[in-house]
Amino acid sequence: MDFMRVDFCRDKARLSARLSDDFIEFTQSGRRAYKADIVEALSKIAEDRKIAISDFKVRRISDGAVLATYRAAEESGRISNRSSAWIEEDGQWKLLFHQGTSAINK
């Protein structure tokens, strides 16, 4: 996944192009983060993030819109349930919404 790779995240133009201008994230801590916040934060990551993805599913919501859901397990032991809404804009798939919620380790 591109958002976990340093080379992708440090390229602010590529990263910004993958996010919708209306992007919003509800973080695990309950904060709201917008496109500029995410571009700035991800552009500063020092190394590829090692996150194991499981239970990945994509569901079509409508023409040009999908919902991706998955479980993410980080090296630290933190596990989260994640959801991302993607929309097709100008022939490109862009991330519109993302949420990570802490999960019970099961």
> Would you state the pLDDT for residue 106?
56
Average pLDDT of the chain to the nearest whole number? 89
User: The whole model's pTM is what?
Assistant: 0.85
* pLDDT of 68 strictly over 90: yes
Distance CA 44, CA 39 (A): 9
Average pLDDT value for residue range 53-78: 94
Q: Where are the domains of the chain?
A: 2-101
Q: Give exposure, 29-63, as e/b (b: 16+ Cβ within 10 Å).
A: eeeebebeebbeebeeeeeebebeeeeeeeeeeee
> Would you state the pLDDT for residue 58?
97
CATH number of 2-101: 3.10.450.50
Own/partner pairs for 38-44, CB < 8 Å, 24+ apart?
Answer: 39/12, 39/15, 42/3, 42/9, 42/15, 43/9, 43/10, 43/12, 43/15
**49 band by pLDDT with thresholds 50, 70 and 90:** confident
Average pLDDT value for residue range 65-84: 92
